[in-house]
Amino acid sequence: MTAALQCLPSSAATAQRLATRLGLPLDEIALHRFPDEELRVTVAPPAATTIVFASLDHPNDKLLALLFAAEALRRMGAKRLVLVAPYLCYMRQDTAFHTGEAMSQKVVGPLLAGGFDRIVTVDAHLHRTKDIHAVFPGREADNLSAMPAIAETLRASACDPKTVLVGPDAESEGWVADLAGRLGLDHAVAHKIRRSDRSVVVEFPDSSLFAGRPALLVDDIVSSGGTLMTAAKVLHAAGAATVDAVITHALFAPEFTRTLFEAGIRSVKSSDSVPHPTNAIALDRVLAEALRKEVGA
């Protein structure tokens, strides 16, 4: 076998779906924690091309585990290492917003580039960085879109043709317009003013668009949920018939889902980039297409 897949334990279920689609064997990387919190990482014998799957939510231990795994795989004979991280951590801090702040993207990008030949992710949370290749100097990199998978899921659920897709801020314009084009739906993008991690103001240029129509909030990442809840209240005030949400990366605590419902969001669907009770959109097809060249398919 010239290619194989290994994964961190927390990503085993999603990695298995991808391995099945690619027709590859899957091994789970073993992690042992010593009493002093140090990690021991044990990998399986590698293939010449070894794909390592790890979603990087709750990232700190996982980053170390990946680097340790890369060292072991290289030493044991892997010629090419590909990291598949559907959710890629530490991308939002690409500048110092206040004096003394570290720029985490500038550290984590080169760190992963030092261990892997190619990094594949989905809807990376980039702001001022326009090209994913700038994050990983000297390495191959792919920032895939979840919109094809989201469109397929919504199409299968017979989405109401009167639905308005709603982006919660200017940064969402690209993917909301993409999704709207795939589904033939109207879309609108809000103007957002963030006052703190949990305090935002959301406004729409033309709120009359939502009167009597279903609204579907589309976001790339939700951690605190503040923006979604604020947008839902504004949409209901504008007369939206229903408000639902679909997101790529669900980083909020599972128990917080009920709070989103209480804020007027009827349903929440997320991709399986991060294991979460709201997962309803599988990314294995999107990821497999990007990895075909690695497995000779």
- Choose among 50, 49, 47, 51: nearest CA to 14: 51
Of 67-76, 88-97, 219-228, minimum mean pLDDT range: 88-97
The domain limits of the chain are 3-145+282-295, 147-272
pLDDT over 60 at 196, yes or no = no
Q: Which one of 3.30.70.20, 3.40.710.10, 3.90.950.20, 3.40.50.2020 gives the CATH number of domain 3-145+282-295?
A: 3.40.50.2020
Quote the CA–CA distance of 86 and 270 in Å, as a whole number. 13
pLDDT over 70 at 248, yes or no = yes
CB-CB contact of 134 with 103 (8 Å): no
Quote the CA–CA distance of 12 and 254 in Å, as a whole number. 19
Residue with tokens 């570290």: 102
Output the six-digit token pair for 85.
């991280």
User: Which residues is 121 bridged to in the sheet?
Assistant: 85, 143
Report the percent of the chain where pLDDT is more than 70: 96
- Amino acid making up residue 162: K
Output the six-digit token pair for 132.
């994913």
Quote the CA–CA distance of 145 and 289 in Å, as a whole number. 12
pLDDT over 60 at 297, yes or no = no
Within 92-235, strands assigned E span 118-122, 140-144, 164-167, 186-189, 191-196, 199-203, 214-222
CATH architecture of 147-272: 3-Layer(aba) Sandwich (3.40)
Output the six-digit token pair for 241.
């018939």
Q: Is 196 helix (H, G, I), strand (E, B) or coil?
A: strand
1 pLDDT tier (thresholds 50, 70, 90): low
Mean pLDDT within 106-119: 95
CB-CB contact of 192 with 169 (8 Å): yes
> Please, what is the average pLDDT of the chain?
92
The pLDDT value given to residue 94: 75
The pLDDT value given to residue 194: 63
pLDDT digits (tens, 9 = 90+) for 120-142: 999 998 777 678 999 998 999 99
The pLDDT value given to residue 204: 84
pLDDT over 80 at 195, yes or no = no
pLDDT over 60 at 214, yes or no = yes
Domains 3-145+282-295 and 147-272 share a fold: yes
**Which is higher by pLDDT, 102 or 116?**
116
The pLDDT value given to residue 198: 56
